[in-house]
Structure 1
Amino acid sequence: MAYELKSYDSKQVKCVLGAHTVTGPADDTFISIEPQGDGVSSSVGVYGDVSRSISHDPRHTIKITLQQTSRSNDVLSSLCDVDRLSGGAGAFPILITDLRGSTLFTGMAWVQKKANATFAKGIGSREWTLEAVGGFTNGGND
C-alpha cells in the first residue's frame, strides 16, 4: 500500500504588503482570505429548469491577526493613514503565499480601518481587516 505524506509549516506562510514582509503573527489563525462574491449561484423555475449566475466579483476580505508587539501593526496603521490622507491613493500590492504549498493570493489591497486596541495582563493581539482585489488559488501542500 502506498502512503502519501504532506507537510504544513506556518513559518512558510508569507504575507507581503508593498515592500513590507509581515512579522509577529498571533498564535492560532493569523491570516484568513474570504472571497466576497457569490461564486456560482443557481435558481430553478417551476418546471425544473436550472439557471446559473457567475459572479465576477474579484474582491476578498483578508484578516491578519498580529501580536500587539509586532512592528507590522505600525506599518498597517501607516498604510491606513496614507490611504485616508491621500484621498484613496494608498492601495498597495499584496502577496500571500504558502511556500510549502500552492495557495497564493496576489492583488491590490487597502486597510478598511485600524485594528481595535485592547490591553490586558498578557500580550494580546490586533486583528486587521483588509479589502483586496486580486486572484486567489486555494491550494494544498507538498
Structure 2
Amino acid sequence: MTGHIGTYDARKVVTTVGGIFITGYADGTMVKASKDNDNFEASSSAQGDAVVSINGDGMGTIEITLNQTSPSISVLDGFANARSMVPIWVNSNNEVKEVVGGTKSMITKPADKEFGKSASNRVYTIKVFDYAVK
C-alpha cells in the first residue's frame, strides 16, 4: 500500500496587491510569507514555574520576486512610491488550501534595479500590519 502522493501546481497560487493580480514571477520562489514574531514567549523560574507571555504583535512580511519583464513591476513600484496602504492576499488553491496576507500593508520601497546581459529579478518586501494565516 502506498502513502499519500500530493500534487502542487504553482499556477494555482494567486497573489493580489491592492486588488490587482500580480503576474510575471521569477524562476524559483515566487512568494515568501512569514509572521514577524512568535505568538508567545515561554520562560521558567529557577524553581520550574512556567510563564507564557502572549505576543500581541500581528505583523508579518511577504516577499514577492518578479522577473524584470513583469507587467506588475510598475504597479508595485507605484504603490511603494505613493506609500499606499493596500490589502495583500496570497491564495494557494492547491490540494492543501492556504491563504495568507492582510487588509493593511505597505511596500517598503521600490525594488532594487539591476541591468545586465540577462533579465534579472525584482524583489518587493511588503510589511503586513494585520498579518493573518487562514
CA displacement 1:4-52 (0-9 Å, x = unmatched): 2211111111100122100001111111111112222111101011111
Q: Amino acid of the residue matched to residue 99 of structure 1?
A: N
Paired position in structure 1 for 2:85: 91
The CA RMSD over aligned residues, in Å, is 1.3
Q: Counterpart of 1:113 in 2: which secondary structure?
A: coil
Trace 1:95-114 onto structure 2 (pairs within 5 A).
Answer: 95-100=89-94, 101-107=96-102, 108-114=104-110
Which of 113, 117, 120 is 1:117 aligned to? 113
1:85-118 superposed Cα distances (whole Å, 9 cap, x missing partner): xxxxx21111101011221113121111111101
Query: 2:70 matched to which residue of 1?
Result: 70
Q: Which stretches of structure 1, 4 residues or longer, exceed 3 Å deviation after superposition?
A: none
How far apart, in 1, do the equivalents of 2:69 and 2:17 lie? 18
Please tell me the residue identity of whatever aligns with 2:55.
S
* Matched positions, count: 131
Query: Which position in structure 2 is the counterpart of 1:86?
Result: none
Please report how far the alpha carbon of residue 2 of structure 1 lies from its aligned counterpart in structure 2 after TM superposition. Answer: 5.1
- Corresponding residue for residue 13 of structure 1: 13
User: Is the contact between residue 23 and residue 71 of structure 1 (CA under 8 Å) also seen in structure 2?
Assistant: yes
Corresponding residue for 1:135?
132
Any conservation in 2 of the 1:29–1:65 contact (CA below 8 Å)? yes
TM-score (norm 1): 0.86
* Counterparts of 2:41 and 2:20, CA distance in 1: 37
